[in-house]
């Protein structure tokens, strides 16, 4: 680029258009749609696996291990079958979008369902 | 390649004086894009009844309906399985609590198995519940026929050029808000078109 | 770290069983859960009702910001123009921006005394603008809707279900949690895994998001975001805490003046395009 977005004091110019220029090659509607599909399926699975873990009366480390096995297993299934092995076509930042962004949310959902069914059954 | 194309489209308004150049370039690039288009989208044929059927004047994918019905049943079955195993587990633990042999008994294998199968079925169903994206074009495409377009993917492409492909194919204008604003429509041309059409038809 | 140690040494960590009345499950655990879900849904719908309506701006204000944006776009996307058209646009833009033709408050400032202008336009009271006042009100209302149900439910749980242990957590915790989770239970040596109703309240507050998402199709954060930021796609110049539009425009004009080195993407475009098809 020949144009410098810097004013005469050397400070960067406030770019009003930055939100669109950063993602100029992405269709934001589709990005949000894909994220929503992923969160929906992971929400269902984490709540259900929490309930099952509670029913089986798994405690402490066994329960958390159960969650991580199911969580990462589901991510792999998702990448292989729903994204058809090309997650970068549907998610801009694959690792962050699929693994880290919703990890805490799903873990807390899992813990809630786990605690609930553990207390009800035991 | 994709980059330059989408950037040009994005900056259409800035480029209006170079419209001729722009159009020429766009046509060249579009020709290349068409090759990828045919790969992404396949059209369902009218002849096969199972693929699409006319229903209340609308063409609806029968397989699609059957699949969604099956998925609902699978969901119900898996949830019932988990609930049943939960109830069994509850009964078992209530019984064991009142005996002195708490540590001697673990949860029976059949309850464990039912629970795990229920979870596996649930996960399987929630992945099966993804349907391939289908579009019903607004404007008739080839052969002047409206056809259900079935893509081979479950999620929408995020890259702008591919997303635009889909919009173009189904005749959708993402910027329709602007394009069809009354002030921007060439009313005189539209009127002329209509009067021409009327003149042609009144002769017959 | 200590939590991890406890988790890892679970084998020799057996705790005595307590015999709890099964009615606790029926009359404490379930009511709290149902109450949590219902208030969550109520809160979401309430937020939807009190969310801000679409706010319009006067036409002069929009014109001002759009001219500024146009200058930005010319700077950012100028490579898509050839040299001549870029130069002509640049000169036009510099003229318009530096003369301040499309400034929204221009007429008012010119009619006033010149000496008062600079002092007044620098600082504006944010509460005098009805639009900003309105947005502050909605923000306050949103906060109220967020924390009033929380406080009420916490009080409700503490008042009706306080003072006894209702459940066993499936995972061990450190002794630090004892004060919070066994609030009101007068047993010093009871293991932390036996907790009172308030801890179930905390766990469900943290973990309810997936459930709301499945029930309503959107979780609360999304509802709020959709309503507050959805309509504000056009950025308006000169909001509270931002520099005055006049100075922004002057700066942009300066930038455009020095943006003389221009590279067009149309240089040698024929050969580059043809190369793609070889």
Q: Give the closest of B15, B28, B29 to C80, CB-based.
A: B15
Q: Which chain B residue lies closest to A75 (C-alpha atoms)?
A: B127
Tell me if A27 and B160 make a contact (CB, 8 A cut-off).
yes
Residue of chain C whose alpha carbon sits nearest to that of A21: C76
Residues 6+ apart with CB under 8 A from B125: B71, B74, B75, B78
Beta-strand relationship, B134-135 and B58-60: unpaired
Q: Which residues of chain B have pLDDT under 70?
A: 1-61, 101-103, 139-147, 203-204
User: Is the separation of the CB atoms in C3 and C173 below 8 Å?
Assistant: yes
Nearest by CB to residue B119, choosing from A26, A29, A52, is A52
Size of interface B-C (CB pairs under 8 A): 34
State yes or no: ipTM above 0.85.
no
Q: How far is B49 from chain C (nearest CA, A)?
A: 34
Best mutation target, A7, A25, A61, to test chain C (most C CBs within 10 A)? A61
What is the 3-state secondary structure of chain B? CHHHHHHHHHCHHHHHHHHHHHHHHHHHHHHHHHHHHHHHEEECCCCCCCCCEEECCEEECHHHHHHHHHHHHHHHHHHHHHHHHHHHHHHHHHHHHCCCCHHHCCCCHHHHHHHHHHHHHHHHHHHHCCCCCEECCCCCCHHHCCCCEEECCCCCCCEHHHHHHHHHHCCCCCCHHHHCCHHHCCHHHHHHHHHHHHHHHHHC
Q: Do C76 and A21 touch (CB under 8 A)?
A: yes
Interface of B with C in 92-111 (CB under 8 A): 94, 97, 102
Low-confidence ranges of chain C (pLDDT < 50): 11-12, 109-122, 220, 227-233
Angle at A100 between CA A90 and CA B79, to 5 degrees: 80
Tell if the CB–CB gap between C277 and B32 is shorter than 8 Å.
yes
Q: How many CA atoms lie within 13 A of B184 on its CB side?
A: 7
Cα–Cα nearest to C215, from B25, A44, B79, B22:
A44
B82, B90, B164: residue with CB nearest A52: B82
* Predicted TM-score of the model (pTM): 0.71
Chain-chain contact of B160 with A25 (C-beta, under 8 angstroms):
yes
Q: What is the pLDDT of residue B145?
A: 62
Residue-by-residue pLDDT tens, chain A, 122 positions = 333 344 444 444 434 344 444 445 788 888 888 999 999 999 999 999 999 999 999 988 999 999 999 999 999 999 999 999 989 999 988 999 999 999 999 999 999 999 999 999 88
């Amino acid at each position: 680029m020949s144009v410098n977005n810097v004013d005469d004091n050397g400070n960067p110019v406030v770019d009003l258009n930055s939100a669109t220029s950063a993602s100029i090659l992405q269709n934001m509607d589709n990005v949000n749609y894909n994220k929503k599909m992923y969160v929906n399926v992971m929400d269902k699975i984490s709540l259900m696996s929490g309930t099952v873990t509670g029913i089986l009366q798994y405690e402490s480390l066994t329960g958390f291990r159960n969650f991580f096995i199911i969580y990462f297993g589901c991510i792999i299934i998702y990448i292989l079958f729903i994204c058809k092995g090309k997650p970068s076509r549907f998610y801009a930042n694959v690792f962050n979008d699929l693994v880290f962004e919703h990890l805490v949310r799903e873990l807390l959902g899992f813990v809630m369902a786990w605690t609930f069914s553990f207390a009800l059954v035991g | 390649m994709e980059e330059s194309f989408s950037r040009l489209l994005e900056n259409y308004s800035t480029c209006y004086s170079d419209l001729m150049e722009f159009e020429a370039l766009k046509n060249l690039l579009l020709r290349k894009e068409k090759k990828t288009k045919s790969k992404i989208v396949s059209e369902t044929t009218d002849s096969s009844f199972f693929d699409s059927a006319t229903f209340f004047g609308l063409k609806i994918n029968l397989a699609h309906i059957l699949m969604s019905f099956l998925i609902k049943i699978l969901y119900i079955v898996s949830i019932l399985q988990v609930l049943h195993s939960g109830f069994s587990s509850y009964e078992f633990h209530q019984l064991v609590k009142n005996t002195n042999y708490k540590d001697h008994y673990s949860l029976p294998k059949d309850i464990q198995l039912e629970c795990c199968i229920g979870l596996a079925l649930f996960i399987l169903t929630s992945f099966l519940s993804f349907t391939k994206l289908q579009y019903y074009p607004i404007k008739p495409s080839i052969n002047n026929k409206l056809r259900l377009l079935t893509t081979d993917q479950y999620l929408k492409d995020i890259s702008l050029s591919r997303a635009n492909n889909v919009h173009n194919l189904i005749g959708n204008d993402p910027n329709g808000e602007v394009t069809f604003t009354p002030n921007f429509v060439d009313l005189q041309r539209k009127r002329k078109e209509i009067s021409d059409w009327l003149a042609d038809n009144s002769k017959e | 770290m200590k939590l991890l140690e406890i988790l890892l040494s679970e084998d020799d960590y057996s705790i005595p069983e307590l015999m709890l009345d099964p009615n606790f499950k029926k009359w404490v655990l379930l009511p709290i859960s149902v109450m949590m879900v219902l208030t969550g849904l109520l809160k979401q719908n309430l937020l939807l009702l009190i969310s801000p309506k679409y706010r319009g701006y006067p036409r002069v204000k929009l014109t001002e910001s759009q001219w500024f944006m146009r200058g930005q776009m010319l700077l950012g996307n100028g490579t898509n123009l050839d040299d001549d058209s870029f130069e002509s646009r640049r000169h036009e833009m510099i003229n318009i921006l530096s003369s301040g033709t499309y400034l929204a408050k221009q007429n008012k400032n010119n009619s006033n005394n010149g000496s008062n202008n600079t002092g007044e336009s620098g600082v504006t009271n944010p509460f005098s603008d009805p639009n900003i006042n309105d947005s502050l009100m909605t923000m306050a209302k949103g906060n109220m809707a967020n924390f009033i149900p929380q406080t009420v439910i916490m009080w409700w749980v503490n008042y009706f279900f306080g003072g006894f242990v209702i459940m066993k957590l499936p995972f061990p915790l450190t002794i630090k949690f004892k004060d919070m989770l066994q609030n009101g239970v007068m047993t010093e040596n009871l293991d932390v895994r036996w907790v009172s109703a308030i801890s179930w309240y905390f766990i469900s507050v943290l973990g309810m998001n997936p459930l709301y998402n499945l029930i309503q199709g959107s979780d609360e954060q999304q509802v709020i975001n959709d309503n507050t930021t959805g309509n504000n796609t056009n950025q308006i110049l000169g909001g509270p805490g931002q520099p005055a539009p006049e100075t922004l425009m002057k700066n942009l004009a300066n930038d455009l003046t020095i943006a003389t080195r221009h590279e067009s993407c149309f240089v040698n475009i024929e050969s580059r395009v043809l190369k793609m098809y070889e």
